[in-house]
Structure 1
Amino acid sequence: MATAAAPSAASRIAVVTGASSGIGAATARQLAAAGYRVVLTARRKDRIEALAEEIRAAGHKATAYPLDVTDRDAVDEFATAFKTVGVLVNNAGGALGADPVATGDPDDWRRMYETNVIGTLNLTQALLPKLEASGDGTVVVVSSTAGLSTYEGGAGYVAAKHGEHVLAETLRLEIVGRPVRVVEIAPGMVKTDEFALTRFGGDRDKADKVYRGVADPLTADDVADTITWAVTRPAHVNIDLLVVRPRAQASNTKVHREG
């Protein structure tokens, strides 16, 4: 079995979007432990600054940079800070609402598309030259099993994640032969502190119902471990698409619930 080599000097910087909580925060911790200098981006300045301090206290390198991935001018300015970047983890995103198509809120659909798809596009376009300049770059798109199949009540989120999936798939075709890998990680049911709560507008009962009876949904650390594994494969190995679900979930609509 091939073992992961330490990141080279040119590819040592890893940018993680949506790093203020959940999968993004867990990924930043794990990439830092793997030898990367992580750059944490999110809108919540206090969260990413606290996380950067935690990572530095553990003896690793981290920098916090407040950023709204949907603000293209801010993203372009952010990109000027780097000569090269080794890894970009496009994690910022999320779901809003669970209404059927007939009554879905167009504003929710628009916000989901802007964050999940346009945010990923903005960061990828701005940092792609830096990733290529490293000689060994990796773009990671954290999509979802929602980007691969549909389910009732999820059309807005499903549409956005399908967009992210196609962005990754197309980019891989367009830059083949250049020293940049494109990796897509598609998690299934992940229980984090905020994902479902945000989706249901702070309604704790609705958020808890998503996971009710599921003994072991994925955790943010499970997904971060998967991302870190894919990133640290030898440079010639590209993990095109990796779907990761808890054992209790066979599909987006088939979940074993105890009791």
Structure 2
Amino acid sequence: MLNIGCHLSISKGFHKAALDAVSIGGNTFQFFTRNPRGGKAKDLDLEDISKLKQIMEEYNFAPLFAHGAYTMNLASDKSHTREFAKMILKDDLERLKVIPNAYYIFHPGSHVGQGSKKGIELIVEALNESIAEDNDTIILLEGMSGKGTEIGRNMEELKTIIDGVKYNKNLGICIDTCHLYSSGYDIVNDLDGVLKRIDNTVGLDRLKAIHLNDSKVEFASNKDRHEVIGQGTIGLESIVKLINHPVLRELPFNLETPNELEGYKEEIALLRRNYK
């Protein structure tokens, strides 16, 4: 079964987002844990979450994707920014104890001129402070396109972070097809080779989730420009091969394409038709 959904708003509640996912043929969805450009999170409504759980059970949902705020930069050169990011991270992990079957996904951070080595050291320090030995939440570092001073532009950087975290049993990665292609991993012409590279560095056992997007930009451009499935430089044929690959086909996928609900419905139907 193809486990697929898209990014949805939870402003009207988790159960409404879950019903929206079902209405477009999805069995998962991604949501922001709080305002993506801010820091405040709404109080959790336990009745709403109970309804969410019922819908997830009824429609055999795959894990949800809980996406951290964009303002979270654990690698900042400013201590107050790092402390703010750690506060968000710790609070999100605490809140996810209540939300059923959700992976926590976040952008590793940007070193803002300090260099990748220093940025990675700061991220590792923050994760060691935030991840307790008894953590049960799957926490995923998102692979990035490599623009600016982003950390996580390659598997080696992600591996260094994971290896530096003491309690890393539930720490893994989420790949984004647009980011991956833009950062120089040729999933169009050499998907098997890319998967081998991931396995030889991070390990395929740590690959838990995929953001499924086409790309507006060329291979190895180090730019982050998502496109509707089949309308970009990755193309429908390559995306179909990816969702059907024996290593990837059982993972949960979520679309982050430039679309509204009806457009997501069309994309999901297209992908389900091509899932073998």
TM range (shorter): 0.3 to 0.5
Between Structure 1 and Structure 2, the one with more helix by share is: 1
Q: Give the number of the structure with larger relative contact order, counting CA–CA contacts within 8 Å between residues 6 or more apart.
A: 1
